[in-house]
Copies of this chain bind each other. A is one copy, B any other.
Amino acid sequence: MKLITAIIKPFKLDDVRQAVADIGVQGITVTEVQGFGRQRGHTELYRGAEYRVDFLPKTKIELAVDDSIVEQVIEALSNVARTGKVGDGKVFVIGLEQTVRIRTGEMGVEAV
C-alpha cells in the first residue's frame, strides 16, 4: 500500500476526484492548505499597509492505494491537474506500513 499525497490547484479538485474514481479509487481525503513555491502571490492593500501575500490557496488530497495502481493514479491525476502554468503542484508517494478500516477492522488493501 502507498499513500499518495498531491498538492493541486483548488479548482481542479472535482476533475481529479473524477479521474481517480474512474480508476477505481473509492475514497480520498482532502485538506485546504496554503502553498509557497515558484508561483507568485498577490499584493494586498489595507489603508497604509501593503502586504505581499506569498501563500496561495492549494488543495491537498491524500489517497491510500494498492501498490499495483500507484503509477496509474499518479498519471491520471497529473493529467487532469495539469494546466501547464506554474503552481500546478506536486505528487508525493510514501510507503504505508499498515491500513485499517475502523468500521470493520479490515486491514491492508481490504481497508481502502
Set of chain B residues within 8 Å of A64, measured between Cβ atoms: 90, 92
What's the Cα separation between A99 and B84 when bound, in Å? 17
The yes or no answer to A109 lying at the interface (CB within 8 A) is no
Set of chain B residues within 8 Å of A30, measured between Cβ atoms: 33-36, 55
The yes or no answer to A19 lying at the interface (CB within 8 A) is no
The yes or no answer to A93 lying at the interface (CB within 8 A) is yes
Q: How far is the CB of A112 from chain B (nearest CB, A)?
A: 7
What's the Cα separation between A71 and B83 when bound, in Å? 34
Q: Within A84-98, which residues are at the interface with B (CB < 8 Å)?
A: 84-98
Q: Are B102 and A93 in contact (CB under 8 A)?
A: no
User: A3-B94, A103-B85 are contacts. A29–B38 as well, Cβ < 8 Å?
Assistant: no
What's the Cα separation between A81 and B100 when bound, in Å? 12
Q: How far is the CB of A17 from chain B (nearest CB, A)?
A: 6
A105 closest partner in B (C-beta): B78
